[in-house]
């Protein structure tokens, strides 16, 4: 009886606190959602962060417009000349994901492995609470409701975002499905993801915009037990858009417990004969062709970044977690990226971040069609051609990580099933990295386990000189998801292997490589060749073309590719080009296996035994082929 009384008293005090913090209009909006866990969460962090005002955003057009207007009023965005377009600056030193200060709050006795950045939960919670205390004083707090995945779906994960950044709230309105009605529908028992963000104290930047000041107190902490993300003293989307890669970490952890997959993958529909559409997911590290793959002709865009995969009725199905695109704008031009280029020039709602603001209130970014203007304003402040930073390096018109944010409806190739509650059936899974020397342009694995281990788990990508100062360093990045893992790598790979259980027809697994080079150091692939590789994969998932079995997988036949090059690109595909592209490079493949064996033995906790068995078998096949044919073998030898 006493316990019930204390619980009742606590609930009464909590609701009184909410009434004190929210005016009547906002309180009445909040209590339309009957969820005590929600009340506890909002009460706790409004009290801790201490904002001057609280705004509850429902799905109403009026509330969404309030957020848009607030972003301008609060000087986090500024209007551009084109209707619907705005510009935002992040602080000069707040331009990318803060890997150093992104940490998991881990209870004592839990070890996520050496690749995953963690801090003791008690210590980290104490630190983040001290940083957040009164951090929103003088600010307005926005309570936002979203849904990861389509609403009213088996994939749906409701989310609640608390932020004092109208830019973050506005961005998430473009990127994610509104979720007020979803969390209302689910009632009191549904577990939801929770996000607490504050940009902290602000300081003036270029064009009168405001940016986060106290970057030294930037923290991004992830609590897997309570499924809460904390983010402070930062505006950059990768640190603040909680439903993006931060939520991916929560989802990976939940998926591991519930036997589904949360992946850093695009979703595309590839056209086949007679109007057929076959759906593929694809994992590509940054700068490896992900966006260009999703915007090819005869391809529909289902999603560009995050996918959930589940076994529904013995079929692997997938949904796009998002409804918008937070894309890198560097290098986008009308010739190479016509679909995105067209979307960026439509009078639709778009946020440009860290690009150059010109005198006529337009934007310029590195690699845009036109020559750069002589003056403007960017993330560094007033800018002119030839401006140098403190180290004497050129300050480019836009930051290399400059972004655009828009709803996928701005794209002409949006897939018609993007909001289908049951998702789409996955026919193929693609893994691609930047690889100058080893993988052929396209190859199919022998089966699910072989593909998971030798394609997905073996994914590597070479760094570029422009980005990191040293070219050609291979970075191990299983499934292109290493930065976002919230479980040990070995467990993550094991989940992928076991995901194949009880499925009638598994997706085929492919590798692609758009960056293979010849002896002269030049790329062997044309920019548009990937259109042919996709069409070949589409035929393969329906068993409509044969392939050549090699020690590493199934390679295309020359005659099939020759026909596809004629159909897709009106190009005469020469036998010499085929041999150069698809020659099996045995020394390079053996070196890759040696690297992987070392990584799985020394850097990965609890690597599944099957990983070593599959890699050793592939090594033996390569050794046998070298004994018969030599180091470099045309696929036609097999």
Can you give the CATH number for the domain in which 360 is found?
2.170.8.10
- Calpha distance 356→329 (Å, rounded): 12
Shared domain check, 462 and 569 = yes
Which ranges constitute the DSSP H helices of 439-554? 448-451, 465-468, 489-498, 530-541
What pLDDT was estimated at residue 427? 98
Q: Give the whole-angstrom CA distance, residue 259 versus residue 624.
A: 38
Q: State pLDDT tens for residues 372-417.
A: 999 999 999 999 999 998 888 889 999 988 999 999 999 999 999 9
Q: What residues make up the domain containing 424?
A: 261-323+418-637
Alpha carbons 578 and 536: distance in angstroms, whole number:
14
Tokens of 123: 């210590």
Single pTM value for the model: 0.94
Co-location of 345 and 374 in the same domain: yes
Select which of 49, 57, 288, 384 is catalytic: 288
**Which uninterrupted H or E stretch holds 476?**
strand 474-476
334 and 293 in a single domain? The answer is no
Asked if 454 and 389 sit in the same domain, the reply is: no
Of 365, 381, 410, which marks where a domain is finished?
410
Same domain for 474 and 537, yes or no, is yes
Is 47 in the same domain as 64? Answer: yes
548 and 628 part of one domain: yes
How big is the chain, counted in residues? 638
What pLDDT is recorded for position 350? Answer: 98
Beta strands 118-120 and 102-106 are: parallel
Residue with the larger pLDDT of the pair 528 and 253 = 253
Q: What are 143's two structure tokens?
A: 């309570």
Q: Which residue has the higher pLDDT, 222 or 470?
A: 222
- CB proximity list for 1: less than 8 A, separation 6 or greater: none
Question: Which residues lie below 8 Å from residue 404, measured CB to CB, with a gap of 6+?
Answer: 325, 326, 327, 329, 344, 350, 351, 352, 353
**Domain shared by 308 and 346, yes or no:** no
Does position 468 have pLDDT exceeding 50, yes or no?
A: no
Q: What CATH code is carried by the domain that includes residue 138?
A: 3.40.449.10
The secondary element (H helix, E strand) that includes residue 308 is strand 307-312
SS3 311: strand
Residue appearing with tokens 């593909």: 451
**CA-CA distance, 547 to 538, in Å (whole number)?**
13
Same-domain status, 356 and 424: no
Residue 168 has φ and ψ, to the nearest 5°, of -65, -45
Whether residue 250 is contained in a domain is answered as no
Between the alpha carbon of residue 521 and those of residues 442, 467, 559, the distances in Å are 20, 19, 27
- Give the rounded distance of the alpha carbon of 285 from its chain centre: 10
Q: How far is CA 429 from CA 51, 304, 327, 447, in A?
A: 46, 14, 22, 12
Q: Are 282 and 430 in contact (CB under 8 A)?
A: yes
What is the domain-level CATH number for residue 562?
A: 3.90.228.20
317 SS3 class: strand
Known catalytic residue at 288: yes
* Nearest Cα residue to 560 out of 448, 442, 437: 442
The SS3 of residue 267 is strand
User: Alpha-carbon distance 548 to 541, whole Å?
Assistant: 15
Residue 126: partners with Cβ closer than 8 Å, 6 or more residues away? none
Q: Which residues contact 12 (CB under 8 A, 6 or more apart)?
A: none
Judge if 510 and 600 occupy the same domain. Answer: yes
Tell me: the pLDDT tens digits for 96-153? 888 899 999 999 888 888 878 899 999 999 999 999 999 999 999 999 999 999 999 9
**pLDDT tens for each residue of 486-533:** 999 999 999 999 999 999 999 999 999 999 999 899 999 988 899 999
């Amino acid at each position: 009886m006493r316990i019930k009384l204390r619980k009742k008293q606590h609930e009464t005090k909590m609701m009184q606190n909410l009434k004190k913090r929210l005016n009547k209009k906002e309180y009445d909006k909040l209590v339309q959602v009957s969820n005590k866990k929600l009340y506890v969460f909002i009460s706790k962090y409004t009290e801790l962060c201490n904002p001057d005002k609280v705004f509850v955003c429902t799905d109403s057009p009026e509330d969404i417009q309030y957020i848009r207007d607030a972003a301008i009023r609060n000087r986090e965005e500024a209007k551009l000349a084109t209707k619907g377009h705005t510009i935002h600056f992040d602080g000069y030193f707040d331009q990318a994901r803060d890997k150093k200060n992104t940490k998991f709050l881990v209870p004592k006795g839990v070890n996520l492995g050496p690749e995953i950045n963690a801090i003791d939960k008690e210590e980290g919670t104490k630190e983040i609470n001290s940083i957040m205390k009164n951090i929103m004083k003088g600010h307005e707090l926005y309570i936002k409701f979203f849904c990861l995945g389509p609403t009213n779906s088996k994939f749906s994960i409701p989310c609640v975002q608390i932020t004092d950044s109208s830019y973050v709230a506005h961005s998430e309105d473009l990127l994610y499905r509104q979720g007020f009605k979803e969390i209302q529908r689910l009632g009191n028992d549904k577990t939801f993801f929770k996000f607490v963000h504050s940009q902290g104290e602000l300081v003036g930047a270029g064009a009168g915009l405001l940016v986060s000041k106290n970057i030294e107190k930037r923290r991004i902490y992830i609590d897997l037990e309570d499924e809460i993300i904390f983010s402070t003293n930062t505006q950059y989307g990768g640190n603040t858009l909680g439903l993006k890669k931060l939520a991916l970490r929560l989802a990976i952890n939940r998926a591991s417990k519930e036997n589904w997959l949360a992946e850093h993958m695009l979703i595309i529909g590839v056209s086949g004969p007679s109007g057929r559409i076959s759906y593929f997911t694809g994992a590509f590290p940054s700068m490896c062709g992900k966006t260009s793959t999703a915007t090819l002709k005869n391809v529909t865009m289902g999603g560009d970044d995050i996918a959930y995969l589940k076994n529904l009725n013995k079929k692997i199905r997938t949904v796009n977690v998002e409804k918008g695109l937070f894309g890198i704008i560097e290098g986008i031009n009308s010739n190479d990226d016509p679909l995105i280029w067209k979307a960026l020039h439509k009078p639709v709602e778009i946020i440009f971040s860290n690009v150059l603001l010109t005198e006529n209130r337009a934007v310029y970014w590195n690699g845009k069609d036109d020559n750069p203007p002589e003056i403007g304003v960017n993330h560094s402040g007033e800018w002119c051609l030839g401006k140098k930073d403190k180290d004497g390096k050129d300050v480019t018109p836009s930051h290399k990580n400059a972004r655009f944010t828009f709803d996928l409806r701005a794209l002409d190739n949006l897939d018609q099933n993007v909001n289908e509650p049951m998702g789409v059936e996955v026919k193929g899974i693609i893994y691609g990295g930047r690889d100058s020397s080893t993988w052929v342009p396209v190859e199919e694995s022998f089966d699910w386990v072989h593909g998971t281990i030798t394609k997905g788990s073996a994914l590597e990508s070479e760094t570029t000189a422009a980005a990191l100062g040293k070219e050609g360093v291979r970075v191990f990045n299983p499934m292109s998801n290493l930065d976002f893992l919230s479980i040990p790598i070995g467990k993550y790979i094991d989940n992928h292997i076991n995901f194949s259980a009880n499925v009638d027809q598994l997706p085929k697994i492919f590798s692609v490589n758009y960056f293979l080079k010849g002896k002269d150091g030049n790329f062997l692939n044309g920019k548009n060749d990937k259109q042919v590789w996709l069409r070949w994969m589409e035929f393969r998932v329906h068993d409509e073309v044969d392939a050549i079995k090699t020690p590493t997988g199934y390679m295309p036949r020359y005659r099939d590719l020759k026909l596809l090059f004629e159909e897709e690109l009106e190009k005469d595909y020469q036998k010499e080009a085929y041999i150069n592209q698809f020659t099996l490079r045995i020394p390079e493949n053996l070196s890759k296996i040696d690297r992987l064996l070392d990584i799985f033995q020394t850097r990965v906790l609890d690597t599944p035994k099957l990983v070593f068995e599959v890699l050793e078998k592939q090594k033996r096949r390569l050794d046998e082929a070298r004994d018969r044919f030599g180091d470099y073998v045309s696929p036609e030898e097999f």
